[in-house]
Amino acid sequence: MDMENVTEEIKKYVKRIRSMAIEPQLSMPDVILWMISGNKRVAYCRIPAHRLLFSETKEACGKFCGKPIELLLKYPGRNAEETPHEIPALVRLELWLGLATHQQHWIKRENGEFNVYAET
């Protein structure tokens, strides 16, 4: 094989690996944070679940798991298109997504009050 063929073959492998690196269909849906006024949803933010996921192995934890983050909320539906330069809200919070059996890791690190919302 000459150098050009080797380079092309390597490029094919790199392309294939990149396409497999990010799973397009995750088994866990995104976390959606809604801001509700009255009974109306006025703003939201969508966060990929893998960024909040807890693991006992620190390296396997999601990027935002248990860390303070700022989220810019968006208007739902057509309101977002009509007002592209408006930000309905900025929220500062800490999020944690894990198994109920790992909940003690979250509780142990918190000094103040906390709320646990579990969906079964």
Query: What pLDDT, in 10s, does the model give residues 33-49?
Result: 999 999 999 999 999 99
Strands (E), the chain: 31-37, 40-47, 68-72, 90-94
Q: What is the pLDDT of residues 23-37, one digit of tens each?
A: 666 678 889 999 999
Q: Which two three-digit tokens encode residue 99? A: 């198994």
Vertex 12, ends 8 and 15: CA angle to 5°?
A: 135
Residue 45's pLDDT is what?
94
Q: What is the average pLDDT value for the chain, to the nearest integer?
A: 83
